[in-house]
């Protein structure tokens, strides 16, 4: 109800703002309304993507998965964040520290979801919170992206769907300034596209999404490659975390 009553922060189509926590909730409700079976987004993902591709990835962790198979997230203190601010864009940091900013509203929406340690609690892992609590292995994330990078035969994806994913619409070009991230970024159909802020892949046809703390996954159709990196110790880089970047560079050297 709160999201349904939410008024736009600007005239639609005139500005761009990253939905750090709410995008998945919006998409989940749209999914439930258009799906003939009225499935949740977690169930739809399980039935139509995870099962056909044999993925270990869940939006809403089943009780059948033992806690011993779920890595514990390791966050950081305010003091550690202050010491590592140089690793983050200063424009983003200053906006995040302003409680009245769109950045603070997007990333610190609730205490429960903004505290990293809470994501180690089974009660939060169990619910479907598609913006932030998907749980799975790097191998499965890479396998999912590889399906999109190699033609989508298993999922029977339409060629036009893949074409639209590879081509960024003009309104989400490299020069688009994001009011929440406080930087020029490129988004297309829910995915990040290569930009000056986040260069990845071989050409502009690549698409994917970085995650909080340093994780990253993407599809590179030019190389027919699905790639993913995950970690449980949070880093401070908004993108191009040195741990992830070293692995990505090594992969491209190999191919």
193-234 tens-digit pLDDT: 998 888 999 999 999 999 888 999 999 999 999 999 999 998
Token digits of residue 120: 């180690």
Predicted confidence (pLDDT) per residue in 122-169, tens digit: 999 999 999 889 999 999 999 999 999 999 999 999 999 999 999 876
Three-point CA angle 197, 134, 225, nearest 5° = 55
Three-point CA angle 12, 27, 92, nearest 5° = 60
Report CA 59 to chain centroid distance, whole Å: 12
Predicted confidence (pLDDT) per residue in 21-65, tens digit: 888 999 999 999 999 999 999 999 999 999 999 999 999 999 999
What is the pTM for the complete model shown?
A: 0.90
Token digits of residue 40: 């949740």
Query: What's the rounded Cα separation, in Å, for the pair 92 and 20?
Result: 13
> What is the per-residue DSSP string for 38-58?
---HHHHHIIIIIHHHT--EE
The residues, any chain, with a CB within 8 Å of residue 113's CB and separated by 6 or more, are 21, 124, 129, 132
Rounded alpha-carbon distances, angstroms, from residue 75 to 50, 145, 182, 207? 28, 27, 23, 27
> What was the pLDDT predicted at 237?
85
Query: What's the rounded Cα separation, in Å, for the pair 241 and 164?
Result: 28
What phi and psi values does residue 119 have, to the nearest 5 degrees?
-75, -10
Q: Is the pLDDT of residue 1 over 90?
A: no
Kindly indicate the confidence band of residue 251, based on its pLDDT and cuts at 50, 70 and 90: very high
């Amino acid at each position: 109800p709160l999201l349904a009553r939410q008024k736009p922060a600007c005239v639609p189509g005139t500005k761009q703002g990253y939905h750090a926590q709410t995008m998945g909730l919006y998409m989940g409700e749209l999914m439930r309304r258009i799906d003939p079976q009225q499935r949740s987004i977690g169930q739809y993902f399980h039935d139509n993507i995870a099962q056909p591709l044999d993925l270990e990835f869940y939006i809403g962790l089943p009780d059948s998965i033992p806690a011993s198979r779920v890595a514990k997230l390791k966050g950081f203190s305010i003091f550690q964040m202050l010491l590592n601010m140089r690793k983050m864009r200063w424009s983003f940091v200053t906006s995040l520290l302003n409680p009245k900013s769109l950045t603070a509203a997007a990333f610190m929406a609730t205490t429960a979801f903004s505290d990293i340690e809470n994501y180690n609690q089974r009660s939060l892992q169990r619910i479907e919170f598609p913006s932030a609590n998907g749980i799975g292995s790097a191998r499965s994330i890479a396998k999912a992206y590889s399906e999109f990078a190699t033609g989508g035969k298993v999922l029977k994806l339409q060629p036009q769907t893949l074409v639209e994913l590879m081509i960024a619409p003009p309104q989400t070009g490299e020069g688009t300034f994001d009011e929440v991230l406080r930087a020029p970024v490129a988004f297309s159909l829910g995915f990040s596209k290569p930009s000056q802020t986040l260069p990845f892949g071989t050409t502009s046809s690549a698409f994917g999404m970085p995650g909080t703390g340093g994780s990253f996954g993407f599809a590179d159709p030019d190389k027919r490659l699905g790639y993913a990196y995950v970690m449980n110790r949070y880093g401070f880089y908004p993108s191009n975390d040195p741990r992830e970047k070293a692995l990505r560079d090594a992969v491209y050297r190999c191919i």
